[in-house]
Amino acid sequence: MRFFLPLSFFLPPTPGMWLPSRQVRLAHGQLLRVEQARGWRVSCLEGTLLISQPGQWHENELRAGEEITLGASGRILIEGRSRQGSLVMLVERHT
């Protein structure tokens, strides 16, 4: 059996390149704190998420299939809002 790795696997990250993602399952009301995540992409794979960013007067609510690119550089809070649990995917952007 053969498998191939993308060329980016062997090269050092360049500015603007998306790095490998991480998935986190959150229970209802569970918080995930992310530091210095400006430019990261947050995707809601299952359930509902509530995202709080410093400097914004409102929170962003994401439902399954939606995503957002974070604009704040401070502490980001992501809360699972679904009774069945929520699955969030975080993708870091190399700056």
Instruction: Return the structure tokens found at 38.
Output: 């400006």
**Block residue for tokens 């995202």:** 51
C-alpha of 32 from chain center? 10
When pLDDT is cut at 50, 70 and 90, the band that residue 54 belongs to is confident
Quote the DSSP letter at residue 12.
Answer: P
State the average pLDDT for the chain: 78
Contact 78, 88 (CB under 8 A): yes
Identify the residue whose tokens are 């679904």: 82
pTM for the structure as a whole = 0.74
Of residues 8 and 83, more confidently modeled = 83
